[in-house]
Amino acid sequence: MAGSLKLELAQFREVEDFTKLGFVLDEVTKKLVNRGEKLTKLLVQNRNEPIDIADQTVFLYAALNGYLDEIPLNLVNLYEKELYKFLKKTIFYEPLNIISKEILEKEIINYILITFKRFFLGRKEIFLKLL
């Protein structure tokens, strides 16, 4: 996962300057910039609020695999907090803590993220009002 993260951020950094100069971007480049902005934002943690490694793993997996693509940038932090709450309520949370330290069970994580994405996008308007 670290290799994918480094690659995504490197590609983002390459085209980031073009966006600042106001160049017209194609759809693929817009998607790359959008994902890069979100990855950059999610890597920032609040001071004295450590995040569990299992939670971080799921959130990074979500970001790197397109689960955040439909989430507006201003909702990424809220998405993250709601995802962590959601994870703690899921029946997979305890096994996920054990699994993530050894191997990432992609099927379980994909199932959790698809379920959460439906939940979050169904309430997106409510979350926007909270901001």
The whole-number pLDDT of residue 13 equals 82
The whole-number pLDDT of residue 103 equals 52
The whole-number pLDDT of residue 52 equals 80
Angle at 51 between CA 48 and CA 57, to 5 degrees: 155
pLDDT < 50 stretches in the chain: none
The whole-number pLDDT of residue 85 equals 87
Tokens 């290799």 sit on residue: 3
**28 token code pair:** 């693929």
**56 token code pair:** 């971080």
pTM comes to 0.71
The whole-number pLDDT of residue 60 equals 87
The whole-number pLDDT of residue 124 equals 75
* Cα–Cα distance measured from residue 29 to residue 70, given in angstroms and rounded to the nearest whole number: 16
| Class level of CATH domain 2-130 | mainly alpha
